[in-house]
Amino acid sequence: MSTIIITLKDNTTKEIPSHSTAMTLAESISRRLAKEAIAAKVNGKVVDLMSELPPRATVEILTAEDGADALEVLRHTAAHVMAEAVMELFPGTKFGIGPAIKDGFYYDFAVKEPFKPEDLPLIESKMRELAAKKTPLVRHVASRAEALAFFAERDEEFKVELINDLPEDVQISYYESGSFVDLCAGPHLVDTAPIKHFKLLSLAGAYWRGDEKRPMLQRIYGTIFFKQADLDAHMHRLEEAKKRDHRKLGKELDLFSVQDEGPGFPFYHPKGMTVRNILEDFWRKEHRKAGYQEIKTPLILNRSLWERSGHWQHYRENMYFTKIDEFDYAVKPMNCPGAMLVYRNAMHSYKELPIRLCELGLVHRHELSGALHGMARVRAFTQDDSHIFMMPEQIEAEVGRVIALVDKFYTVFGLKYRVELSTRPEKAMGDIAVWRVAEAALENVLKHREINYKLNPGDGAFYGPKIDFHIEDSIGRSWQCATIQLDFQMPEKFDLTYIGEDGQRHRPVVVHRVLYGAIERFMAMLIEHYAGAFPLWLAPVQVVVMPITDRARGFAEDVREQLEAADIRVELDGRSEKIGFKIREAQMQKVPYMLVLGDKEVESGEVSLRTREGGDQGSMPIADMLAKLNAQVKAFK
């Protein structure tokens, strides 16, 4: 009998009969492992337990303890079971795709009538019924023609399209579980028994393949875990995340509002404005240090400018227009054309370069109504923009400087980010060869700095490729914040020049970049990041002074004045309420420090300090308290 040699996770080897499956291997190791096995990882690739092992392979048997890989298999199978349930409950349904995703799974269906929320519990109980049968999932391999015929006969037009789009060399497979057969690469569970601890979460319309020109399917999202406790923990996390939602906190902490009179046009309230001003102050200080010069360009500019910049041709559907004295004008959706005009307004020498013009520029963009989202996606926002004019040979160094600045900013706020490189979109301006050069330049910087990034083909700006920095919100949605965009087009369009060493005119290169991105979105991310409990230096109200009785009122006024003189943002709560009530309110408003002043403090001249996180800290001299606060502010804490 011929055998194969398998290397296990612990680097030991095992000899087993040829054509053995991963399941056989698991059984040969231990009965318990075979029982708990979910899938196998063969040479780094997750496969079915029933799949045949190759002659030589490194194999790891995955169990419920093996995290993301095992969960993905569970979730993918759960999606199939859900599809089977839908097939039984809603005959005539056609099937789109049903993958496992980060926190669960979904399946897209074409149904005659969209699902109603009441349908979810029905589907859920049908799933439980089906899963309890412990139906095996059987993998079949088919030729392209067979697969096409099979799904065409069932009128599964989406599956047919998927098969047609599969690469030539790929093995086409489908999985059978009970009466349901789905085109699927797998891997899957051996049977449906582990489909126990799940919940269907939401319904949504979703375009077939995300394309608005294609039919809209009905998507059901769900999640599943191996253990009930994990599911409970996940549901609890979702609840907790809701409490961090910047829209909820923005209301509760009275930071901003969005009103019917201006969808997507946020109103800053005094406290939100305080936070924003601090962000801007910090930004200005850092930019002066980094060699930037601040400018401000007009909100509304003539059509001819936008035609020259290409926005009139490439960005029109996102722009707002107006007429002045019968001439066409546009409200700026970007700050770049204005900055180009500032540069062009004078002659420049190579000795001046790079010229770093920065601008807190208010731009307006017509975002889809369905895409608006609190402060995170709005139609009017302030970009902390900059346009850096330089010689081509300065690109790498300058982009490196910008990346360092992004990192400095995000480190101050303790934000984690993910980097993406976006390349030429379909609707692009300019020569492809020039694009290639620009794309390569950005890629080089990332590689030299050893930054991990994801390639995002076709997602660049219409004038150039970009490096984006993404931040996740409280429920894991990713938002682009900082971005660095390389631009060879605008200098051309605006005929920008500098005089080189040789006395001749040369064409500069422009880098567009934002650090916060949009101040609105960045604030949204900060609110969620801190769950509304801003660190002292950002807190709209840093200290509330609370006299316990009217006898301490005078002292409280005095303390308030001293704090104000020391540039601390302070409020005095002189209402005739009990101290517990005042503390509760300040606590709910997430004020970092409270000063409780009663007879003892009046007597000693000290203040009793209470912190948002740590409670009562006892009493201390005012000077000590101020020193403590100032040190904390300086350290951005």
Partner RNA sequence: GCCGAUGUAGCUCAGUGGUAGAGCAGCUGAUUCGUAAUCAGCAGGUCGUGGGUUCAAGUCCCACUAUCGGCUCCA
Sheet holding 293-294, edge to edge: 293-294, 355-364, 380-390, 509-518, 478-487, 466-472, 418-422, 454-456
| The one segment of 84-92, 132-140, 345-353, 595-603 that binds RNA by CB under 7 A | 595-603
Does residue 511 bind RNA (CB under 7 A)? no
- CA–CA gap between residue 221 and residue 511 (Å, rounded): 41
Cβ-contact 423, 458 below 8 angstroms = yes
Annotation says 387 is catalytic? yes
Does residue 628 interact with RNA by CB under 7 A?
Answer: no
Catalytic member of 48, 75, 108, 336: 336
The question of whether 466 is a catalytic residue gets the answer yes
Q: How far is 257 from 242, CA to CA, in rounded Å?
A: 18
Q: Does 427 bind RNA (CB under 7 A)?
A: no
Q: Which of residues 477-506 bind RNA (CB under 7 A)?
A: 477
The minimum distance between CB 483 and RNA, in angstroms, equals 18
Q: Under the criterion CB under 7 A, does residue 168 sit at the interface with RNA?
A: no
User: Which position among 24, 587, 630, 632 is part of the footprint of RNA (CB under 7 A)?
Assistant: 587
The DSSP code sequence of 531-577 is TT---TTT-SS-EEEEESSGGGHHHHHHHHHHHHHTT--EEE--SS-
Extract the tokens encoding 113.
């009538």
Q: What share of the chain is helix, strand, coil (3-state, %, to 5)?
A: 40, 30, 30
Nearer to RNA by Cβ, of 371 and 434: the residue is: 371
* Nearer of residues 49 and 183 to RNA, judged by Cβ: 183
Residue 579 as a binder of RNA (CB under 7 A): the answer is: yes
The total of other beta-carbon atoms located within 10 Å of residue 94's CB is: 17
Q: From the CB of 16, what's the least distance to RNA, in Å?
A: 27
The residues, ordered by sequence, that sit 6+ positions from 567 with a Cβ below 8 Å of its Cβ are: none
Is there a contact between 304 and 324 (Cβ–Cβ < 8 Å)? Answer: no
Other beta carbons within 10 Å of 118: 7
Among 152, 233, 300, 588, binds RNA (CB under 7 A): 588
Helices (H), 50-156: 67-89, 119-132, 144-153
CB of 55 to RNA, least distance (A): 23
Considering only residues 13 to 72 of the shown chain, the ones binding RNA according to CB under 7 A are none
b/e 547-568 (16+ beta carbons within 10 angstroms → b): bbeeebeebbeebbebbeeeeb
**Does the active-site annotation cover 634?**
no
Binding segment toward RNA, per CB under 7 A, in 160-168, 293-301, 432-440, 554-562: 160-168
Q: Is residue 244 within the footprint of RNA (CB under 7 A)? A: no
Residue length of the chain: 637
Q: Which is nearer to RNA, 172 or 545 (CB)?
A: 172
- Judge residue 83's burial from the number of C-beta atoms within 10 Å of its C-beta, 0-12 exposed, 13-18 middle, 19 or more buried: buried
What is the spatial distance between Cα 111 and Cα 218, in angstroms, rounded to a whole number? 7
580 burial (CB, 10 Å; 0-12 / 13-18 / 19+) is exposed
Residue 260 near RNA by CB under 7 A = yes
The stretch near RNA (CB under 7 A) out of 33-41, 176-184, 300-308, 357-365 is: 176-184
- Residue 365 annotated as catalytic: yes
- Judged by CB under 7 A, does residue 7 bind RNA? no
The two tokens of residue 475 are: 């429920």
321 binds RNA (CB under 7 A): no
Least distance (Å) between residue 391 CB and RNA: 37
Sort 29 into a burial class: Cβ within 10 Å, 0-12 / 13-18 / 19+.
middle
Among 554, 600, 624, 631, binds RNA (CB under 7 A): 600
Q: Point out which span in 172-180, 380-388, 393-401, 406-414 binds RNA (CB under 7 A).
A: 172-180
Stretch that binds RNA, among 6-14, 213-221, 356-364, 406-414 (CB under 7 A): 213-221
92 to 151, contacts with RNA by CB under 7 A? 97-99, 101-103, 114, 116-117, 147
The interface with RNA within residues 262-281 (CB under 7 A) comprises 263-264
- Tell me the site size for RNA, rule CB under 7 A: 78
504 is known as an active-site residue? no
Count of H-run helices and E-run strands, the chain: 20, 33
Instruction: Report in angstroms how near the CB of residue 456 gets to RNA at its nearest.
Output: 10
Of positions 300, 368, 440, 623, contacts RNA by CB under 7 A: 368
From CA 15, how far away is CA 53, in angstroms rounded?
Answer: 12
Which residues make beta-bridge pairs with 506?
A: 498
Which member of 44, 370, 503, 614 binds RNA (CB under 7 A)? 370
The residue within the footprint of RNA, chosen from 36, 608, 625, 629 (CB under 7 A), is: 608
354 cis-preceded (ω within 30 degrees of 0) = yes
Q: Which of 453, 598, 632, 636 binds RNA (CB under 7 A)?
A: 598
Q: Least CB distance from residue 10 to RNA, whole Å?
A: 30
The span of 163-171, 188-196, 278-286, 410-418 binding RNA (CB under 7 A) equals 163-171
Collapse the DSSP code of 112 into the 3-class scheme (helix H, G, I; strand E, B; otherwise coil) and give the result.
coil
Instruction: Establish if 207 lies at the interface with RNA (CB under 7 A).
Output: yes
Nearest in space to 313 (alpha carbons), one of 424, 207, 393, 428: 428
247 is a site residue for RNA (CB under 7 A): yes
- Annotated catalytic residue, options 80, 276, 424, 466: 466
Catalytic residue among 512, 521, 560, 610: 512
* Residue 15 DSSP code: E
Cβ burial of 346 (10 Å; 0-12, 13-18, 19+) is exposed
Q: Is residue 610 at the binding interface for RNA, with CB under 7 A as the rule? A: yes
- Tell me the one-letter amino acid at 555: F
Instruction: Decide: is 616 part of the binding site for RNA (CB under 7 A).
Output: yes
User: Considering the rule CB under 7 A, would residue 532 count as an interface residue with RNA?
Assistant: no
Minimum distance from residue 89 beta carbon to RNA (Å): 17
Query: Site map for RNA, 378-417, x if CB under 7 A?
Result: ----------------------------------------
Q: Which residue has the tokens 């939100």?
A: 272
Please identify, among the stretches 10-18, 200-208, 389-397, 411-419, the one whose residues bind RNA according to the rule CB under 7 A: 200-208
CB of 566 to RNA, least distance (A): 21
CB of 547 to RNA, least distance (A): 8
- Residue 177 within binding range of RNA, rule CB under 7 A: no
Indicate which single residue of 551, 561, 564, 623 sits in contact with RNA (rule: CB under 7 A): 551
164 is an interface residue for RNA by CB under 7 A = no
Biggest alpha carbon–alpha carbon distance for the chain: 97
Active-site residue list = 336, 365, 383, 385, 387, 466, 512
